[in-house]
Amino acid sequence: MKQKNKANEIHLTDSFKRLNWLQKGALAFFLIILMITTFPIVLILMIGLLPTITVMYTDRRNYDKQIIIGCFNLAGVFFYLFRVMGDYAAHNGRFDIVGDVTMLILMLGAAALGLVLYNELPALYIYFARSNYKHRIEKINQRLEKLSEEWGIDIPASNNEEAEVKNR
């Protein structure tokens, strides 16, 4: 399973190594130009997507976590990003918006919501699933008991296993 995951990983450094020096230089030049021209946006993205970048760095193979936190993070960032894009056009690149605490809370809070969802939703699901199994076992036991009463069949005892289920 691990080998398969490794095979599916995107090795950017390898791709980058395959480029020749001219291509690498052109790409670096292009990026520098892009960063300089869209500096406020890049800055917002770097600050706003900090939780996602952190998760991508710390839990590289946990794609579910990356997707959930990343998507929520992006949902928060989009509010700021489009506002910045509007302000950028109107105020010719004002950076004061970076100091807006509300927007920071929105971006980072959305990522935090994603993290909470990632951590708590499975537990909630398991809780409901278990209660569903328990209910089903009770139903089965009731039916078996009824069959036993009506037909006198011997039902194999599985009390210990049932107890295990209850204790979990």
Contacts to other proteins by CB under 8 A: 64, 67-72, 74-76, 78-79, 81-83, 85-86, 114, 117-118, 121-122, 124-126, 128-130, 133, 136-137, 140-141, 143-144, 147, 149-153, 155-156, 158, 161-162, 164-165, 168
CB of 75 to other proteins, least distance (A): 4
CB-count burial class (<10 Å; 0-12, 13-18, 19+) for 49: buried
Provide, rounded to whole angstroms, the least separation between the CB of residue 74 and other proteins. Answer: 5
Nearer to other proteins, 24 or 135 (CB): 135
Nearest residue (CB) to other proteins, 42 versus 137: 137
Give least dist CB 26 to other proteins, A. 31
Shortest spacing between CB 129 and other proteins, in angstroms:
4
> Looking at beta carbons only, is 11 or 60 nearer to other proteins?
60
Contact 68/82 with Cβ under 8 angstroms?
no
Helix axes 101-151, 63-91, angle to 10 degrees: 150
Query: What DSSP string describes 114-168?
Result: HHHHHHHHHHHHHHHHHHHHHHHHHHHHHHHHHHHHHH-PPPPP-HHHHHHHHH-
Q: Return the amino acid letter for 55.
A: V
By beta-carbon proximity to other proteins, the closer residue of 47 and 67 is: 67
The DSSP code sequence of 65-86 is: HHHHHHHHHHHHHHHHHHHHHH
Q: Quote the DSSP letter at residue 166.
A: H
Smallest gap, in angstroms, from Cβ of residue 143 to other proteins? 6
Nearer to other proteins, 43 or 117 (CB): 117
